[in-house]
Amino acid sequence: MFNLEKSDLTLLIAVAVLTLFAPFILNPFPADSAMAQFNAGYPDLMQRFVIFGIFAIGFNILFGLTGYLSFGHAAFLGVGSYAAVWMFKLLSMNVIPAIILSVIVAGLFSLLIGFISLRRSGIYFSILTLAFAQMMFALAYSVLTPITGGETGLQLALDDPRIFGQSQTPEGNIPVPGLFGLEMRDSFDLAIGSWVFTFNIGYYFCALVLIASFYLAIRIFRSPFGMMLRAVKSNQQRMNYTGLNTRPYTLAAFVISGMYAGLAGGLMASMDPLAGAERMQWTASGEVVLMTILGGAGTLIGPVLGAGFIKYFENIFSKINATILHEWFAFLPDGLEDFIVAILYPFIGKGWHLTLGILFMMVVIFLPGGLVEGGQRIAAWIKGRKAGKTTAGGKTEPAE
């Protein structure tokens, strides 16, 4: 089915189920429960999960397959966002043309930057990509202000020409992005007992794009092209000695990866029609590196897990403050309650980076293969226990 092996098809179905049923999966606690703080089933956060999952999938095609570590991939994310907003301003509020333009523009930029950067490898390649990204970030803040909006960012306005759409609604407001009459911000709630599940048009559109992007990544990984990229990662020098020119393959991987980033940027602008230079900053590039390594570089589902893990910590743990901690431990004596809150407070709220840093160090030390390796170890342990019970419960025959 879909020209996939059984294991790959199972993985694709798992990703589809997780994304399509995310409103249920990410809301395990009742809305009136004290643990509802850990629910993540609201549209904005779910959109971030899938959009950054797409970003990480694309980055993994470059880093996971070829071993080339780019520190400037956020430049293509920013370029994609700017292209999408300009499409909204000039053409229409339909998200399809905006996303197509985002992918094309990001592909052109990645072709130019990759053609130059891939003349070097290792740390020199990483520094070149970082330099290009910072140059683009600085240009967006200064010289290109008429195009990018500078510090305030590129936003929609009531006087935008918008050839195939209305410049403003009958109420005098700025139109919102949509898909053939469906607005990306439209949502409806389903209440089941104390649980409230939110279903958002924009999220499900992003989810379908994620599933398609994941399927394409599987095909790339299993193709002869993907095998060639793995060979580049294994020993590029030996391949060059055989007379094979590897640069077209690495450049193709760089461009595909950049187009994935542009797709993610276009989706971000489609959910919130605003583009700013901060999306191109080096910290955003570092974030996608963390996502890929944390989930498992070179694996298919690892980058998606890493993106969800980091965005969960960023949005959930950063909201926990001292007041919430006191509510959780109010049943303890006052002195003990204050002591526990004082111990935990540096690791939540504004200090969530500290918790993430500790977890990242633990993963790198104990699970070099990322979260995927952790899942594989757990599965192997469970399988080993089942096999042990079967052996213990079965009859044994003496050796002849």
Domain ranges of the chain: 6-280
Identify the helix (H) or strand (E) that includes residue 309. Answer: helix 302-315
Give the mean model confidence (pLDDT) for residues 209-237: 93
pTM over 0.85: yes
pLDDT at 390: 67
Fill in the amino acid letter for 288.
V
Average pLDDT over residues 14-27: 92
Calpha distance 253→284 (Å, rounded): 20
* Residue matched to tokens 């900053």: 281
Q: How far apart are CA 290 and CA 320, in angstroms?
A: 23
Give the per-residue pLDDT at 335: 87
Given a cut of 90, is residue 84 above it in pLDDT?
yes
Kindly state the average pLDDT of the residues 26-44. Answer: 85
Contact between residue 304 and residue 56 where contact means Cβ atoms under 8 Å apart: yes
Higher local confidence (pLDDT), 267 or 29:
267
Tell me what the mean pLDDT of segment 159-180 comes to: 83
Looking at per-residue pLDDT, the higher value among 329 and 59 belongs to: 59
Amino acid letter, 390: T
pLDDT for 109 beyond 80:
yes
Position 62 scores a pLDDT of 95
pLDDT value for 68: 94
Q: Which of the 8 DSSP states describes residue 173? A: P
Report the C-alpha gap between 79 and 276 in whole angstroms. 10
Average pLDDT over residues 18-22: 92
Q: Is the pLDDT of residue 396 over 60?
A: no
Compute the mean pLDDT over every residue in the chain, rounded to the nearest whole number. Answer: 89
